[in-house]
Chain A
Amino acid sequence: MENKFNPIKDYNLSKEKLIKMYQDMLKIRYFENKITDLYSKGLMPGLAHLYIGEEAIAVGVCNNLTERDFATSTHRGHGHLIAQGCDLKRMMAEVLGKEDGYCRGKGGTMHIADFSKGILGANGIVGAGIPIATGSGYSAKVRGTDQVTVAFFGDAASNQGTFHESINMAAAWKLPVIYVCENNLYGISVDIRKVANTKDIATRALAYDIPGVVVDGNDVLEVYMVTKEAVERARRGEGPTLIEGKTYRWKGHHLGDPGRVYRLEKETKEWMARCPIKTYKERLLNENVATDKELVIIEKEIKQMVEEAANFAIKSPYPKEEEAFEDLFTEPEGVK
């Protein structure tokens, strides 16, 4: 596996945009490194499904969206939320099950939602966000807006009925939805190549007569460009696109899974050598987009930001026991 990148100048992007994408990827990486730290100290309850290694997809995609657009996320959702500009403090507080978390401690790592940024929820059920995103796209059509919706999901979700049912409807009705498959090759321990005959999941788009694009999911600029085209198509009313980003999760399925028994070390190492952040940093430096000094400052700032988020989350109180009975219905007094 070789790293083949196009010159940055070919993408015709502003320095500001190029740097922002670096910052966004770093935020995800540092945020999840911090989760690993808090988890190992016993401060984080539950499971942590880490996105480390896949940052370029969320960042390349979400940098095409505005806060008026929508996205549905997955159990491995931290990256999508961070790339969409969600608040690290409230995210980390939710991860620790605290009162100041986005979901007031009721959702946790797998279910963070931020409706103010269009994030309609991370989701603990594989493939379940896909129809929800499709409905969000239907809604934009009915309301006559140019909003688009992104459905993030993994390779394993592409074998759920919801994937096929939803893309079928979106294609039939030309809905403004971008289906982004993050193919990290494994559904927990199961190798996608052993349970599906399609080499590229994107070819499934053919069945629904919509564009299907394979992209190097570790190249943030390529992801950005293919998404840009899909978003423009969607906004023009030309319907959905299926994008498959080839990538790899560095960690196990979650922090309790070392992720070794079902994968070859060689494979993991090869993918780690293609780190989406490290390779992008080298390109920024080699192609004189940024200086080493500038990037060091950015790294320091983001470390600080994540540190503050962690401190905020640790200090935040746990929700009160009686809050378990709140937020079920819109009636504040509940429903008998």
Chain B
Amino acid sequence: MRKITYGQAICEAIDEEMARDKSVIFLGEDIEVLGGNFRATPGLYEKYGGWRVRNTPISENSFTGLGLGAALTGLRPIVEIMFCDFMMLAGDQIVNQIAKIRYMSGGQARVPLTIRTTLGAGRSTAAQHSQSLQAIVCHIPGLKVVMPSSASEAKGLLKTAIRDDNPVVFFEHKMEYNKTYEVPEGEYIIPFGVANILKEGKDITIVGTSNQALKALQAAEELTKEGIDAEVIDPRTLVPLDKDTIIKSVKKTGRLLIVDEGYERCGVAGEIAMSILKDVFYHLNAPIERLTTANVPIPFSPALEFPLIPDEKKIYQRVKDMVLG
């Protein structure tokens, strides 16, 4: 299979959807000649022109709201918010407007809007450019939340997001853009709410969000040397969440570790655990555990930053502790 980068996969998804549907427009900071801060989408501006691909001023709340207004009146916008940390500037439009207008209007509004943003630490950019704020978005009813792992996943899920008639917040992991992955040729989409089992196993279930699913897979492969057979699940979307696949897996393995790069407190990992606990309680051989980022801002120095973020080594160790006791 051909190999392309995660960034190229994102770009292909947008390009294909813009070619397919004239109502798709793309707005955000530095997306014209730069192709975005992470250089993920070069060439779209040259191809689709200034109205369909447009640089915005640094006015996150209003350009996100502009995306909503365009979505309500016949377009299918993709709004890029460079870092999810900056999404907080658009808090009113995302939380109070985009998520609610369909509901508050009694179903009159249709909001085909995709917000692309980035999460993740690892670039020594300190506490305002390194967060993983998916839990905040998941907390708000009315938004779908997507956390793709690899490039092929990102492409198929982004195309689904763009075609969805509801607001979708699409979290790309900023450490992935330049990594190369196998991605199928041609057009394909991946539906929301269907988790992906990356590896089957019988001793423990590891649920990993975003690229933590890939790190979990790496850890699981190492763990086979220890005689531990882990099942690895990528939920793909947090809203909707494919609880059934996780429940089925945990009933089989009797153990569950959830890995998510967000802060631990009120986080996605805790939510997944609680949302399935009742269904799996009598099948558990050990308490459910989570591996997340500690409840501190992400520090600048790599010496401080990396120890805080979940990775394959930490997953490996935690699983070993959970299974071997």
Contact = CB atoms under 8 A, between A and B. Distances in A.
A131 B106 contact: no
B324 to A, nearest CB: 34
B69 interface: yes
Contacts of A217: none
A125 B65 CA distance: 13
Nearest to A166: B62
A136 B104 contact: no
B56 A142 contact: no
B93 interface: yes
A102 B52 CA distance: 33
B227 to A, nearest CB: 36
Nearest to B89: A161
Interface stretch (A46-54, A104-112, A258-266, A307-315): A104-112
A184 B108 CA distance: 31
Interface residues of A, number: 50
Nearest to B50: A173
A132 B97 contact: yes
A165 B109 contact: no
Contact of B104 (A114, A121, A166): A121
B62 A165 contact: yes
Contacts of B142: 328-329
Contacts of B77: 135
Contact of B75 (A106, A125, A139, A326): A139
B257 interface: no
Contacts of A132: 65-66, 68-69, 72, 97
Given A111-B105, A327-B102, A131 B193 contact: no
A120 B57 contact: no
Given A128-B96, A142-B25, A168-B57, A111 B62 contact: no
Interface in A131-150: 131-143, 147, 149
A162 interface: yes
Interface string A88-103: 0000000000000111
Interface string A167-180: 01100100000000
A120 B74 CA distance: 12
A326 B101 CA distance: 13
A320 interface: no
A12 interface: no
B325 interface: no
Nearest to B242: A336
A330 interface: yes
Contacts of A326: 107
B60 to A, nearest CB: 9
Nearest to A151: B69
Contact of A330 (B166, B240, B242): B166
A104 B242 CA distance: 30
- Size bracket, chain B contacts: 35 or more
A134 to B, nearest CB: 5
Nearest to B100: A111
Contacts of A162: 61-62, 65, 92
Interface string B156-177: 0000000001100000000000
B14 interface: no
Contacts of A165: 57, 59, 61-63
A224 interface: no
B103 A328 contact: yes
A265 B241 CA distance: 58
A137 B96 CA distance: 21
Contacts of B67: 135
A115 interface: yes
Contact of A135 (B71, B102, B107, B141): B71
B205 interface: no
B205 to A, nearest CB: 19
A169 B93 contact: no
Contact of B106 (A101, A166, A168): A101
A330 to B, nearest CB: 4
Nearest to A102: B106
Contacts of B68: 131-132, 135
Contact of B73 (A123, A136, A336): A136
A130 B62 CA distance: 8
A110 to B, nearest CB: 9
A1 B75 CA distance: 47
A213 B61 CA distance: 26
B144 A125 contact: no
Given A139-B73, A139-B75, A169-B56, A115 B62 contact: no
A174 to B, nearest CB: 12
Nearest to B243: A336
A248 interface: no
Contacts of A120: 69, 72-73, 109
A134 B69 CA distance: 7
Contacts of A35: none
B239 interface: yes
A46 to B, nearest CB: 13
13 contacts: A102-B108, A106-B104, A113-B101, A114-B108, A124-B96, A131-B64, A132-B72, A135-B66, A135-B73, A136-B70, A143-B23, A165-B62, A328-B103
Given A106-B105, A143-B73, 7 more contacts: A104-B107, A121-B109, A132-B65, A136-B69, A142-B25, A143-B23, A165-B59
Would you list the 4 A-B pairs with minimal beta carbon distance, nearest first?
A135-B69, A131-B65, A165-B62, A103-B106
